Amino acid sequence: MIFRKELLNRTSFQTVTPPLHRGGFLMYNKSIVHHTPMTITLRPHQQTALSAMLKHDKGQVIVPTGGGKTLCMIEDTKIHFKLFENQVHVIVAPRILLAEQLCSEFLEHVDAHVMHVHSGETEHFSTTKADTVRLWSENVGGNQLIFTTYNSLRRIEESGIKVDSIYFDEAHNSVKRNFFPSTEFFSHNADRCYFFTATPKHSVTIFKPGMNDTDVYGQVICNIPAPKLVEQGYILPPKVVVNELPQGDFKMSDCDNLISTIDDNLLSKILIAARSTKQIINLLSESNFRNELAQRGYSCMYITSKTGAIIDGEKVDREMFFNTLNAWGKDPEKKFVVLHHSILSEGINVSGLEAVLFMRNMDFVGISQSIGRVIRLGVSSKTFGLVCVPVYDKVGINTAKSVQSVVETIFERGEPAVSVIRR
């Protein structure tokens, strides 16, 4: 056994990975994929987070959205795969889509057998059966990466396999009633356990779990303030604009509301946080919104759990949706609007988004995560991420107050936006 001091001494934060091989399970081994070796150079705050992980077996890593927490997980995995044999590392994501994205990012740098434990489609071996998880792990041997969701994590628990390291991405999700039992199990049974989030959820009641439960979540071992990342040029500061629309006795339509906000702020690549899936469907099927956008040279795309992914009126699969979204984000000439209710709020990396428009109020977690979509560095020359809140009469006032409070907490005071569970 290598003690932590020795581990730290032997660790290089800049490494070159070997060619990659994706392993399968018995007859389910579909292919061998090779990639060009990639070099990881960690930023100072990522090195700080990684050092904290190497010193502690358990803890919370608080990193602002866009701070590159995934690379911390990847580098930690690379170190332990190099130093130890037959390691099993589990990566937990809030959504299947994010689990697939994390898998792609890991496999750019890590050579390992891969399994997904969730109900989504994937090119890798996948199952939701605990017995199959156990058989796969026992048969493939070697270093293993298992990607799962909070909803399916219990299947890994039920399998009884030994987990060496487990990373909880967007860990504030773990406090939910259905997810917490498996979270607690792995906190006490995995050798190493880390909780990554920009927005911790705490509880002030004994009847609900919260990340202030140090027995389960450990201490905060690393807390990176957002102003530091802005100062160092790794993320952009948000700029809040309360768009005060004409007031009167009439009720503005959602179409008029959005078009006025887009026109007033000269926006090109826009994320709209809608109130509901129903609002999105009504906006695009029962109003002139799509035509108004087309007249201004905008494409329109949206994604919901009910409708799936739609680009300019045509249904596409999720892979095409996100490939198109990222391609348009990188195209300086492309103007587009993307609407969603919740799917794009958390974790998903999207290039080029310039602004987010809030059509609804959210808790601190939702607001912070949505803002995080537009403060990432892009290919454009933008110097801030625009956060717009349309307001008319009394509509939108509470949303504007909540958004401003989150921005002041995270980007002015340098504190995480803690959401508190009270009952």
The alpha carbon dihedral of 149, 116, 139, 71 has a sign of: negative
CATH fold group of domain 230-416: Rossmann fold (3.40.50)
- Architecture of the domain spanning 4-224: 3-Layer(aba) Sandwich (3.40)
Where helices occur in 67-223 by DSSP H, the ranges are 69-83, 96-106, 130-140, 153-159, 180-189, 214-217
| Banded model confidence at residue 423, pLDDT cuts 50, 70, 90 | low
pLDDT, tens digit, for every residue of 23-65? 444 444 433 344 554 677 899 999 999 999 999 999 999 999 8
Q: What is the pLDDT of residues 337-384, one digit of tens each?
A: 998 876 665 556 677 888 888 887 888 888 888 888 888 876 567 788
pLDDT per position as a tens digit, 238-295? 988 887 766 554 455 778 888 888 888 888 888 888 888 888 888 888 888 889 999 9
- Tell me the mean pLDDT in the region 80-108: 93
**pTM beyond cutoff 0.75:** yes
Tally: H helices and E strands in the chain = 15, 21
pLDDT at 393: 60
CATH 3.40.50.300 maps onto the chain at: 4-224, 230-416
Cα–Cα dist 33/392, whole Å: 54
DSSP-assigned letter for residue 248: S
Predicted local distance difference test score (pLDDT) of residue 395: 65
Instruction: Encode pLDDT of 142-201 as tens digits.
Output: 999 999 999 999 999 999 999 999 999 999 999 999 999 999 999 999 999 999 999 999
Q: Please state, as a whole number, how many other Cβ atoms lie within 10 Å of the Cβ of residue 205.
A: 11
pLDDT value of residue 14: 44
Share of the chain above pLDDT 70, in %: 85
